[in-house]
């Protein structure tokens, strides 16, 4: 497949995880996708990133659709990651046949203990590659006796197998593109399939974007570093390279990024205090008028 996408009608996607309620950060991203689609005569798809079945619930997905409709955003029927495990398994098998994947039996506590304080861009302990040295026979024996394994990308071999100059087309929130150099190696040997998940975020998002024909990825700056891994996987799998637009993040009153784990105000709660969709859109910069007293700060 071509390394760069050429399309007359851009395809974008909004891809929430149904593990909690949407907040203003999600609303900003969804509205930014919608704005760019309107400006470029494109369309936005909805993807439900629900691989973690212990945290992702149908009621959260229903609430997401309801919140988006309240904002004036409606989508075709979504692609649910939980229904496409075979797609991710096929991609993983292609990488495995090239000798770029290995099983990892380390627990989180073991990884943290030998990381020497090193962290990946998400702040998690950086994996030291402990299981990389296991022989295929030893790995097979451990799996045969029931030891659970995650599957990791051998980053050194993967970078060597990829293009000499790996970059992507980045617009941010502007109209002038740049070509940042990808640095996937800062993540170490990333997980491609977890012990109990069909795929990690990195593998699933790359496969989904290709299968859905996504030409423009619009998402927050907190995922900027992850794009290096995604570009490497796209190159290794021969998948198209979307254009990327990493936007600002909405902050809370303390200056921290909004998140479900911090129990940031949800859209449902804002609806409960009688804020209108127009007021929320205006506060986020997507409409004329006042935001109804809703103050929003950005990173």
Pairing of strands 101-104, 150-153: antiparallel
Instruction: Find, among 91, 105, 111, 113, the residue nearest to 200 by Cα.
Output: 91
Q: What is the pLDDT of residue 1?
A: 38
Q: What is the pLDDT of residue 7?
A: 47
Instruction: Tell me, yes or no, if 260 is annotated catalytic.
Output: yes
Greatest mean pLDDT among 7-21, 119-133, 274-288 lies in 119-133
Prediction pTM value: 0.93
Residue pair 14/48 in contact (Cβ under 8 Å)? The answer is no
Q: From the CB of residue 164, how many other CB atoms can be counted at a distance below 10 Å?
A: 6
Q: What is the pLDDT of residue 262?
A: 60
Encoded tokens for 180: 């940042």
* 73-110 tens-digit pLDDT: 999 999 999 999 999 999 999 999 999 999 999 999 99
Q: What is the pLDDT of residue 261?
A: 62
Q: What is the pLDDT of residue 294?
A: 82
Average of per-residue pLDDT across 126-147: 95
pLDDT band at 2 (very low <50, low <70, confident <90, very high): very low
- Decide if domain 1-83+249-299 falls under CATH 3.20.20.80: no
Average of per-residue pLDDT across 109-124: 96
- CA–CA distance, 216 with 260 (Å, rounded to integer): 25
Residue pair 27/73 in contact (Cβ under 8 Å)? The answer is no
* 147-205 tens-digit pLDDT: 999 999 999 999 999 999 999 999 999 999 999 999 999 999 999 999 999 999 999 99
Query: What sign does the dihedral 119-121-127-128 (CA atoms) show?
Result: negative
Residue ranges covered by each domain of the chain: 1-83+249-299
Q: What is the pLDDT of residue 4?
A: 45
Q: What is the pLDDT of residue 3?
A: 42
Q: Taking all residues of the chain, what is their mean pLDDT, rounded to a whole number?
A: 93
* 215-233 tens-digit pLDDT: 999 999 999 999 999 999 9
Catalytic residue (one of 57, 148, 257, 260): 260
* 232-284 tens-digit pLDDT: 999 999 999 999 999 999 987 767 777 766 657 789 999 999 899 999 999 99
Contacts for 135 with CB less than 8 Å, ≥ 6 apart: none
């Amino acid at each position: 497949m071509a390394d760069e996408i050429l399309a007359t009608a851009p395809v974008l996607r909004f891809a929430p995880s149904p593990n909690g309620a949407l907040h203003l950060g999600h609303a900003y991203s969804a509205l930014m996708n919608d704005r760019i689609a309107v400006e470029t005569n494109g369309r936005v798809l909805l993807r439900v990133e629900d691989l973690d079945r212990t945290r992702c619930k149908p009621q959260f997905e229903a609430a997401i659709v309801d919140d988006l409709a309240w904002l004036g955003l409606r989508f075709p029927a979504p692609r649910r990651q939980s229904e496409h495990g075979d797609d991710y398994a096929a991609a993983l098998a292609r990488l495995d046949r090239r000798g770029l994947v290995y099983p990892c039996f380390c627990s989180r506590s073991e990884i943290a203990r030998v990381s020497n304080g090193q962290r990946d861009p998400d702040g998690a302990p950086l994996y030291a590659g402990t299981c990389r040295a296991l022989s295929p026979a030893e790995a097979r024996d451990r799996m045969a006796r029931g030891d659970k394994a995650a599957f990791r990308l051998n980053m050194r071999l993967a970078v060597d197998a990829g293009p000499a100059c790996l970059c992507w087309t980045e617009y941010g929130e502007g109209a002038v593109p740049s070509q940042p150099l990808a640095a996937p190696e800062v993540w170490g040997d990333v997980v491609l399939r977890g012990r109990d998940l069909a795929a990690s975020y990195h593998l699933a998002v790359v496969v989904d974007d290709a299968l859905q024909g996504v030409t423009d990825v619009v998402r927050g700056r907190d995922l900027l570093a992850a794009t290096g891994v995604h570009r490497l996987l796209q190159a290794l799998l021969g998948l198209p390279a979307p254009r990327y637009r990493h936007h600002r993040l909405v902050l809370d009153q303390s200056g921290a990024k909004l998140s479900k784990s911090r129990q940031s105000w949800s859209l449902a709660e804002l609806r409960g205090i009688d804020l209108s969709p127009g007021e929320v859109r205006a506060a986020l910069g997507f409409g004329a008028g006042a935001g109804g007293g809703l103050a929003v700060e950005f990173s």
